[in-house]
Structure 1
């Protein structure tokens, strides 16, 4: 399946779907595939992307299409990240906030335990999320500057 075939397939699915969540998944796929179509890839890289699209089995999904296409979108984004070091917009920010909250809980329990327990944990989560947000935004801007954002 070529990139243009996949874009046309998802546009058709988007127009046929009535559920807002399915339409959103289709729009995410269309946006991702359109941005890939605009990039300059070698023939071997294009064949690799097309092979991955074929491996996802997008033409004949099972009954639960939203779950299937969400999983396929995640797998395809993981493939792009592993093969071409391409990330989606806001990827590092999401990861930074999540990791910051996790480490913030630990920081709140261990270091800020001299305060009331719940106050220490909430301060730790807040501080961790802010630090993760700052680091994630910095990494996102670096990825954007180097052209690795799809």
Structure 2
């Protein structure tokens, strides 16, 4: 399946549904595919992307199409990230926030042993969040400067 065929397929799926959540997933796929069409790739790289699109089995008719397409979108984004070092906008910021809050809770529990527990946990979450956002934004800006953002 070529990039143009995939884009047309998702546009047709988008017109068939009225559910906002499905439309959002289709729009994400269309956006990624259109940005890939605008990038300069060798013929070998384009062929490998098309082979990956074929392996996703997008044209099957499952009962829960949104769930299958969402999983396919995540798999396709992982493929682009691993193969071409292409990430979506805000990828590292989201990852930094998640990990920052996670480690912030742990740090907050450790800090909370000396002070009031709820105060320690809230302080840990806040600090983890700020550190995660800071690191994530820095990594996102590096990726953007390198031109590897979708």
What TM-score range do you get, normalising by the shorter chain?
A: over 0.9
Q: CA deviation at 1:115?
A: 1.6
The correspondence of residues 1-150 of structure 1 with structure 2, limited to 5 A, is 1-150=1-150
How many pairs does the alignment contain? 150
Q: CA deviation at 1:61?
A: 3.4
Q: CA deviation at 1:118?
A: 1.1
Structure 1 portions without partners, runs of 5+: none
Normalising by structure 1, report the TM-score: 0.97
The residue matched to 1:94 in structure 2 has which SS?
A: helix
Q: CA deviation at 1:112?
A: 4.2
Q: CA deviation at 1:113?
A: 2.6
1:37 and 1:142 map into 2 onto residues whose CA distance is 23
Normalising by structure 2, report the TM-score: 0.97
Structure 2 portions without partners, runs of 5+: none
* Residues 60-85 of structure 1: CA deviation (Å, up to 9, x unaligned): 13110110110000000000001001
The residue matched to 2:113 in structure 1 has which SS?
A: helix
Query: Aligned-residue CA RMSD in angstroms?
Result: 0.8
1:113 and 1:134 map into 2 onto residues whose CA distance is 27
2:88 and 2:65 map into 1 onto residues whose CA distance is 22
The answer as to whether partners of 1:96 and 1:132 remain within 8 angstroms in 2 is: yes
Which of structure 1's runs of 4+ aligned residues deviate more than 3 A?
Answer: none
* Residues 11-39 of structure 1: CA deviation (Å, up to 9, x unaligned): 11111111111111110000000000100
User: Structure 1 stretch 105-114 or stretch 5-14: which is displaced more?
Assistant: 105-114
2:148 and 2:108 map into 1 onto residues whose CA distance is 35
* Residues 33-65 of structure 1: CA deviation (Å, up to 9, x unaligned): 000010001111101000000000011131101
